[in-house]
Homo-oligomer: A and B are copies of this chain.
C-alpha cells in the first residue's frame, strides 16, 4: 500500500498572529483555522497568550490589571507574549508543527513589528490576521455570546465575564492601532472588517496562506443549521455488503418518504433548502420525494473500497486477512487496494466543507464514511476516532455551529434498519449495547408523531 504524503514539501512554517480588540472573534477564528487545517492533516495549534501569564495574575486579572497606568501588568503581558512565541518556535522545531496561531491582541504597530522580527529570525513566516469591527451590534452580540458560553469564563459568577470584557475593551482601546495599509505594507496580513463585509489581503504569496485567506473569506456568523442524513437502507446493507450502487430496500424507501415529512416538520426554511446527494442511486432515491433543488456531487460518493467493493466484511476477513487487520489497526490511513482511505476522502471533501461554510440551508444526503468525515470536521473529532463514529441509518442529523462548538440533534425516523456499524476486531456488524458512541453535545430525539 503506497504511503500517502500530504506534508508540504516546501517545509513552510507559518505563524498566524491575531490582531484586534476583545470580543472581535479572535479566539473563534483561531479555533476554526485549527479545526480546518487539522482536519486536512496539517499540524496546527493555538497558543493563547493570556494563558502564559504568570500564575498569580492569571486567575483574577480584571480591573486593576487592565488599568493603563499599571506598569507591572504591562510588563507581564509583554512577557506572556514572548513566552508564547518561544513555545511556538519550540513546537515547530521539536514537533514539526506547521501552522501556529498566536491568539493575543497585538494591538500596536510596535508590538507587531517585534513579533514579526522574532518569528522571521526563527524562519517562521508571520501572517497577521486582524479582526476589525466597529459595528456595535456585532460587538454587543459577541459580548453576550462570550458571557453566556465562552469556556474562558466557565465557573465564574454571572455578570463577571461581562464586566471583565468591557474593562478589557476599554483598556485596549486606549492604544489600539488598526493595521495600516501604508505603514505596515511590508507585512503579510489579512484584515477582516465587520466579519467579512470587507477583507483586505496584503502580500500573501504562499499557497497555504492564500488557502487560509480563502477559508476565512467563506466563514460567516449568521445562525444556521446544517442537515445531514445517510441514504435509506439499501439492498447491499441488507446483505451486509459494502460499496456497490444498489437500490434502496423497502424500508429504505419508507425512510425516503418519511424524510419529506421530517424536513417539513423540522427544517425552518424548508422551502429554501438545497439538497446535495452523491452520484449513487441510494442517495438519489433517498432524496427523490423532496421537492427541493438538488445537486449531485461525485465528491460525496462513498469511500471507494477498491477490490473489496461488493464483499461482506466476513468475505474481506477471509480473502484478505492482512488487509482486514491493517484496516482495523489504522482505519484512518488504511487505503483499500485500488480504493481510498479516510484521509483520501477528506481531501476530496474539502470543497464541500468550504461550500458548506459559505451556505446557509443545506441537507447533505450521503454515505457512512463520508458522513463521518463531514461530522469529524464539525465536531472537531480526532483522526484516529472519526472512522469509528456511529452514524445510524434512518436518522436526520441537525448541526448547529455555535461560537465555541457545534450542537447536534439526531432525529430518529423510527423506521427499523440493519446496523452497518462494524466494531474493531470483528467482522460482524452491529453495535454493542453501551451507548459510548454518543458524543459530547449530542441530543438524540425520536420523531414522536411518527412512532
Listed in ascending order, the chain A residues whose CB lies under 8 Å from chain B are: 2-5, 8-10, 181, 185, 196-204, 206-207, 210, 213-214, 217-218, 245, 274, 279-281, 284, 293-296, 298-299, 304, 309, 335, 338, 340, 344, 347-348, 350-351, 354-355, 358-359
Kindly state the separation between the CA atoms of A196 and B344 in the bound complex, as whole angstroms: 32
The distance from the CB of A145 to the nearest CB of chain B, in whole angstroms, is 22
Contact residues in B for A279 (Cβ distance below 8 Å):
2, 4, 335
Contact residues in B for A284 (Cβ distance below 8 Å):
2
The distance from the CB of A124 to the nearest CB of chain B, in whole angstroms, is 20
A340 lies within 8 A of B218 (CB): no
CB-nearest residue of chain B to A197: B203
7 smallest beta-carbon distances between A and B, as pairs: A9-B293, A199-B201, A214-B214, A207-B358, A5-B296, A298-B344, A198-B202
Instruction: Given A210-B358, A348-B299, answer yes or no on A274-B197 (Cβ-Cβ < 8 Å).
Output: no
Kindly state the separation between the CA atoms of A319 and B299 in the bound complex, as whole angstroms: 29
Contact residues in B for A5 (Cβ distance below 8 Å):
294-296
CB-nearest residue of chain B to A191: B200
Among A213, A298, A309, A338: residue with most chain B CB under 10 A: A298
Contact residues in B for A200 (Cβ distance below 8 Å):
198-201
User: Per a CB cutoff under 8 Å, which of B9, B203, B217 touches A295?
Assistant: B9
Contact residues in B for A359 (Cβ distance below 8 Å):
207
Give 12 A-B contacts (CB < 8 Å), ordered by A residue: A10-B274, A185-B197, A197-B202, A198-B202, A199-B200, A204-B217, A206-B358, A210-B358, A213-B214, A298-B340, A298-B347, A348-B348
Instruction: Given A10-B274, A200-B199, A207-B358, answer yes or no on A309-B293 (Cβ-Cβ < 8 Å).
Output: no
B207 lies within 8 A of A198 (CB): no
Kindly state the separation between the CA atoms of A213 and B5 in the bound complex, as whole angstroms: 29
Kindly state the separation between the CA atoms of A355 and B8 in the bound complex, as whole angstroms: 12
The distance from the CB of A404 to the nearest CB of chain B, in whole angstroms, is 25
User: Per a CB cutoff under 8 Å, which of B10, B245, B344 touches A338?
Assistant: B245
The distance from the CB of A52 to the nearest CB of chain B, in whole angstroms, is 33
The distance from the CB of A171 to the nearest CB of chain B, in whole angstroms, is 29
Contact residues in B for A245 (Cβ distance below 8 Å):
338
Q: A200-B201, A298-B340, A299-B348 are in contact. List 17 more A-B contacts (CB 8 A).
A: A2-B296, A3-B296, A4-B279, A4-B296, A4-B298, A8-B295, A9-B274, A9-B295, A198-B201, A198-B203, A207-B359, A213-B214, A245-B338, A298-B344, A299-B347, A350-B351, A351-B351
Instruction: Given A348-B348, A351-B350, answer yes or no on A201-B217 (Cβ-Cβ < 8 Å).
Output: yes
The distance from the CB of A281 to the nearest CB of chain B, in whole angstroms, is 7
Contact residues in B for A347 (Cβ distance below 8 Å):
298-299
User: Per a CB cutoff under 8 Å, which of B185, B304, B344, B355 touches A207?
Assistant: B355
The distance from the CB of A190 to the nearest CB of chain B, in whole angstroms, is 10
Kindly state the separation between the CA atoms of A2 and B340 in the bound complex, as whole angstroms: 21
Instruction: Given A5-B294, A201-B201, A347-B299, answer yes or no on A217-B207 (Cβ-Cβ < 8 Å).
Output: no
Kindly state the separation between the CA atoms of A200 and B199 in the bound complex, as whole angstroms: 6
CB-nearest residue of chain B to A281: B2
Contact residues in B for A218 (Cβ distance below 8 Å):
207, 210
Kindly state the separation between the CA atoms of A18 and B213 in the bound complex, as whole angstroms: 23
The distance from the CB of A7 to the nearest CB of chain B, in whole angstroms, is 8
Kindly state the separation between the CA atoms of A347 and B199 in the bound complex, as whole angstroms: 27
Kindly state the separation between the CA atoms of A274 and B85 in the bound complex, as whole angstroms: 31
The distance from the CB of A104 to the nearest CB of chain B, in whole angstroms, is 25
Kindly state the separation between the CA atoms of A198 and B204 in the bound complex, as whole angstroms: 8
The distance from the CB of A241 to the nearest CB of chain B, in whole angstroms, is 14
